[in-house]
Amino acid sequence: MKVGVVGLGAMGAGIAQLCVEAGLETVGREVTAELGEKARGRIEHFLTRKVEKGQIEAFDIGLLSLTTEVADLADCDVVIEAIVEEPAAKQALFVELERVCRADAVLATNTSALSVTEIASATSSPQRIVGMHFFNPAPLMPLVEIVRAELTEDAAFDAAFALGEQLGKHPIRCHDTPGFVVNRVLIPLLNDCVRVLDEARVSPEDLDAGMQHGAGWPMGPCTLLDLVGIDVHLHASEALYDKLREPRMAAPPRLVAMRNAGLLGRKSGRGFYSYDKT
């Protein structure tokens, strides 16, 4: 099997890493050769660390080829899109993928908040488009949501599920609804947690301890938000609110203020907690 990954940012590089680790021929497409090389360096670094830790025996970075041309994905069996979360950009890409890829190739989107059905609607072959929502960081998180859009056919849906298993993930099946499964539950729940911070006048440390020791969470909500990124959470929260208009989906003012101040969590060095960026 040959897999294409479009977009080698944090998510796309993680997905490409999984493909290489599974021994699959992989084509990674980035907008510039420099960005592609940086991604390959990160992938090689993380896989080397896994070998050093004894988690895997070996890997072949030669399985990953890089390109800046969508046309170089023409002979892939599955192409996974992991570009910016903007509907117009994704639709334009899928129109291009439909033009260059084989008729039997499965085209998947890694969107976390957009409608797979709407993305597929821009093409003339929506039956082969499916959602494959990996969680960040993709190499570590076991789950992948396999999302059936309104016109997805069984062949594409089953192929995406099988690929998820081949990559060592735990795939679950669902239909295309706002937030799919996990984010539909988790995003309003995290928003509730942030509102409780102010209403109960509890510290982030105590809120995290409460949810870990009282509800059995493996990680507290403030720590989790810092890990995901305040801006990433807000983007998904706003997308869900636009679709559903449920008050719990609306972004809490505290998170909006944090984003506006650049307090994005681990990646900026400060969110609910402070982090050493060195």
pLDDT, one tens digit per residue, over 222-242 is 999 999 899 999 999 998 999
CATH topology for 184-267?
N-(1-d-carboxylethyl)-l-norvaline Dehydrogenase; domain 2 (1.10.1040)
Over residues 146-188, the pLDDT tens digits come to: 999 999 999 999 999 999 999 999 999 999 999 999 999 999 9
Give the residue among 139, 107, 138, 137 at the shortest CA–CA distance from 123.
Answer: 107
What is the C-alpha separation between 18 and 168, in angstroms, rounded? 8
Q: Which residues contact 152 (CB under 8 A, 6 or more apart)?
A: 116, 120, 126, 127, 128, 129, 130
Question: In the CATH scheme, what is the homologous superfamily, with its name and number, of domain 2-175?
Answer: NAD(P)-binding Rossmann-like Domain (3.40.50.720)
Asked if the peptide bond before residue 137 counts as cis, ω within 30 degrees of 0, the response is: yes
Return the closest-CA partner of residue 143 out of 195, 181, 175.
181
Question: Which residue ranges make up each domain of the chain?
Answer: 2-175, 184-267
Flag whether pLDDT at 277 surpasses 80: no
**Could you report the per-residue pLDDT of 80-106, keeping only the tens digit for each?**
999 998 999 999 999 999 999 999 999
Which positions are catalytic? Answer: 112, 133, 145, 183
Strand 78-81 relative to strand 64-67, pairing: unpaired
The residues with which 79 forms a beta bridge, in sequence order, are 4, 107
